[in-house]
Structure 1
């Protein structure tokens, strides 16, 4: 559950979002401070010359998404059967903003992949630690039917079920990347489908790089920012509005889902499982150099995940016998120039060449006139 740092005493370590008189989440205001550390850590703007995630549909499964927050662009939130464009609890709106909120001059906060479309699906109203696993399974199936390439479980369930594991299997068979946060805060507890095979389970870190969540296991694949965050708020009422500072290990999965969408847009030939391999293989390794039960294979490196040149069928981390046999991951040195920049550069170079040629021609004509148009003599 969400917590605001200044209200820990009122709500506990991971309490409910601040509520209005009607019992729903309220914004903190419009965020105008320095770029939030989570955005600086992931640094999505460095990738936008390569891709902004256009053409990707990201399902945000949880408590719905408030369509009245205008940092979601016109038409960015899908509608239709099974979608929910309101959000009393607030967690769905916060997660959706981390994935794809549009740049806006009124704020320094932007989403990771502002070119994506968002599919808001509610399976729980937010009461307790998570909803019914059967309802969550049905929500995943709806996302698959709508052809979502990335499925973010913004609010995992506290229990598993055959229906839920079956829905994950169907999603993977259709090529979707299923991302879910390791958000349990009680010792030994697990969340689902986070602990389900084939799901990219996400741990969370604070600005110091320390794990935030208690949940741990060999199924945790990667970590991302999950404390002292900023994102879009429900209850905006037609404005650009935010909640901060937010500490919720569940929000780390939203960063990973946004980067997964960038990878899918830039590498459309990759399967869902290959996208997961790329994300985990390029992560910043934990201090141990190997797998950590709370940090997985390390902290998300968005630039390396998108820009590195890797074979599509490369083995995931842990599949090779030693670090010495693991492949070298080398990100691109700089973002590629956009086509219009390449065209402009070509025109500029051509202009310089033409100007130089014209200068040579004028000089030759002047010399010929001085000679009375007689051919010059070669003097060895």
Structure 2
């Protein structure tokens, strides 16, 4: 059985260290600041204060499948549910030895208490589902599938997975079955697409699985980050670079970037919309997010770099835009939902050797508006990208952060 290494990057001023599962991104020390909240520029760009007059995510549970969550951080006190640890030797869902899961949870539902991270949906609750994917293919597939099914069976409305692994869909047959199960139970699933767009640019899973909303990253200027993995698996993009957060390996504030963060921002946006419109299904919430996303003028969409555009929840919440459309049609696949899910059962296997489609090569250069209060997608000028599938030996990654000075 091949071992899938889960790599994550943590970049500091003095060292670069690689570890198992990659969370999409890297971390670098930030300049001294009074608190983290004062450095969260993207909240102003997204017009968070206006959105919070309409929705703060109340009543919505977001499952965070990650490295665990430290429920004692000031901004996460009272925000984190019991959850579960799916590791062979569990230490508890509320213990986060790596720090990644805690940072993702804070981006989604942090309260900003004591100068901590202010989440996009501060009245949502977090369901921590702990995985540590330093294991072989079968174990990884099993653990992730159990976590997704647990979320589906414990009232999650949104799932965030800021992690991923290379390979082919057949490696993730149980995860695919779990995703299908969760979609039947009206859950919206986001995953980071990866941080290798300027290198191998291989598709990563679960983001590339059908039914999962793959999220890419854009920078502070609204440009798609050159390292954000691109391809047909990209459905949407969100801010994911130069975001302040707690340093993972020491005390202090760090600046982080990666599709991990972008996926968390997408999940928080979905929580805001689900709280405002509890009558909308997962398909309808996703459809309005796609319809209201910032798009380059006259560009063919979806783009392998942007998907359907940059997430702008204020267009739904504040401006009332977006047609939810049919409740039972998935806007990504344009197919109707299967019959309602039965209670969680053993996952079925997928086709052996099935391969993910490679996106068509393209070169895009387009400009779009800058929305009032912040950027959408300002421009793209990226050359053609080709996806190459690997064999049995794959690198699994928690999509951590890429550091920036």
Q: 1:126 to 1:255 in 2, by over 3 A?
A: farther
CA contact (8 A) 2:111 2:118 kept: yes
* 2:80 aligned residue: 77
Q: CA deviation at 1:81?
A: 4.4
Query: Equivalent residue of 1:208, what SS?
Result: coil
Query: Equivalent residue of 1:221, what SS?
Result: strand
Residue among 135, 142, 154 paired with 2:143: 135
Q: CA deviation at 1:134?
A: 2.5
CA contact (8 A) 1:78 1:119 kept: yes
Q: What is the rounded CA distance, in whole Å, between the counterparts of 1:174 and 1:33 in structure 2?
A: 35
1:173 maps onto 2:184 in alignment: yes
1:46 maps onto 2:50 in alignment: yes
Structure having the larger proportion of residues in helix? 1
* 1:199 aligned residue: 212
> Larger C-alpha radius of gyration, 1 or 2?
1
1:226 maps onto 2:235 in alignment: no
How many residue pairs match? The answer is 305
User: What aligned pairs does 1:43-192 form with structure 2 within 5 A after superposition?
Assistant: 43-74=47-78, 76-79=79-82, 81-82=84-85, 84-104=93-113, 106=115, 109-124=117-132, 132-159=140-167, 160-185=171-196, 186-192=199-205
Q: 1:277 to 1:5 in 2, by over 3 A?
A: farther
Q: What is the rounded CA distance, in whole Å, between the counterparts of 1:264 and 1:165 in structure 2?
A: 24
Q: CA deviation at 1:219?
A: 2.5
Unaligned ranges ≥5, structure 1: 20-27, 320-330, 332-380
User: What aligned pairs does 1:200-349 form with structure 2 within 5 A after superposition?
Assistant: 200-212=213-225, 213-232=227-246, 243-286=253-296, 288=299, 290-307=301-318, 308-313=320-325, 316=331
Q: What is the rounded CA distance, in whole Å, between the counterparts of 1:303 and 1:242 in structure 2?
A: 31
Q: Which has the higher contact order (CA 8 A, sep 6+)?
A: 2
Q: What is the rounded CA distance, in whole Å, between the counterparts of 2:156 and 2:217 in structure 1?
A: 24
TM-score by length of 1: 0.71
Q: CA deviation at 1:249?
A: 2.0
How much is the aligned-residue C-alpha RMSD, in angstroms? 3.3
Query: Equivalent residue of 1:47, what SS?
Result: helix
Structure having the larger proportion of residues in strand? 2
Q: 1:15 to 1:111 in 2, by over 3 A?
A: closer
Q: What is the rounded CA distance, in whole Å, between the counterparts of 1:264 and 1:138 in structure 2?
A: 24
Bigger Cα displacement from structure 2, 189-198 vs 258-267: 189-198
TM-score by length of 2: 0.67
CA contact (8 A) 1:89 1:125 kept: no
CA contact (8 A) 1:224 1:255 kept: yes
Unaligned ranges ≥5, structure 2: 1-7, 86-91, 335-370, 372-405
